[in-house]
Amino acid sequence: MLYTHLGRTGLQVSRLCLGTMNFGPETDEATSFKIMDAALDAGLTFFDTANVYGGWGDKPEVHSGWTEEIIGRWFALGGGRREKVVLATKVHGAMNDPLDGPNDARGYSAYKIKRAVEASLRRLRTDRIELYQMHHIDAHAPWDEVWGAFEDLIAAGKVVYAGSSNFGARHLCWAQQAAAGRHFLGLVSEQHKYSLLVRQPELEVLPTALELGLGVIAWSPLGGGLLGGHALDGRGGQRSASAADGLDDAARSRLTRFHELAANAGVSPANLALAWTLANPAVTAPIIGPRTPEQLAEALAVPEIELDADLLAGLDQLFPGHGDPGTGADPAAIEATAPWAYAW
């Protein structure tokens, strides 16, 4: 496994991040334990979850917090599991806690942040969270309130770093400006939807994160399973099957050509999609969400995959992005590419 710094911090994380959203609703607890053990054995030490995970699906035991509880029971097995993991979780959504009343609503009041941390720590059976991420933007809570709560949690040792998820470039800038005014580190990462199928973040979010020194954690790097290799033949997960049902002929043809590119490169479609995401200099790690130990084993090769210029050009032709002006490009070329293309 390869490692890198998380943004501008001194923290080292694996170049793959283990996503746990499937744990509970799609992957039973015993299999979840096997996946986490296999990940740790392979040196994949960066785990991502959220307090609301587990609260979807049609199983009778579905409830928000289920995924954190599974991870907590795995930590409780000991053997250095907790000590080896860089743990990331999130706050924002409603947890359906009747004790919180109206303050169970989405957002980041200092009250909610502090109560949510305590609840996640209990479910995770740990005393600290390495990366505590704001799951979505809250247009109402002022940054002084948010950063005040984070400063208290960091001073208490309950949180180590602050991160964001699904923020726009302007939100990242506002957050860091407010943090700088408090002589506070602020955000160290942004978790964002990014894949060959979703390249809009190249316009502003990725270059902004790179300039601010924020590590980008890419979620849904397989495009909801469409780039995983089995969406078209019905062997993917429930979400990828649902997404495939809505594809038109042109989209199906493009995915078929993508599979051909992967075959010619000697890698699986899923690994090609992940390696492409990881090749972006703004990206610290893509999130992989294996439902089985076999899917995890396949993905472990991704950090070692090198994509040559011809393959990258072929992917750009198939899934057009927003370009890279390169060094020494003329002004007209620069204005047509990200992040300049967004301005006028």
Nearest to 91 by CA among 118, 61, 71: 118
Which pair of structure tokens corresponds to residue 231? 């969406």
Determine the Cα angle at 191 with ends 185 and 192, to 5°: 135
- In order of 39, 42, 89, 217, 330, the CA distances from 18 in angstroms are 8, 12, 12, 11, 41
Annotated catalytic residues are 53
d(CA 257, CA 234): 18
Placement of tokens 């990206």 in the chain: 283
CB under 8 Å to 225, separation ≥6 — which residues?
Answer: 231, 236, 237, 239, 240, 241, 243
Nearest to 88 by CA among 159, 22, 28: 159
Half-sphere exposure of 113 (CA within 13 A, CB side): 25
d(CA 150, CA 173): 17
Q: Which DSSP string do the residues of 157-197 spell out, in sequence order?
A: TSEEEEEEES--HHHHHHHHHHHHHTT---EEEEEEE-BTT
Q: Which residues of 212-230 are buried (b: 16+ CB within 10 A; e: fewer)?
A: bebbbbbbbbbbbbbbbbb
CB under 8 Å to 25, separation ≥6 — which residues?
Answer: 54, 56, 57, 59, 62, 66
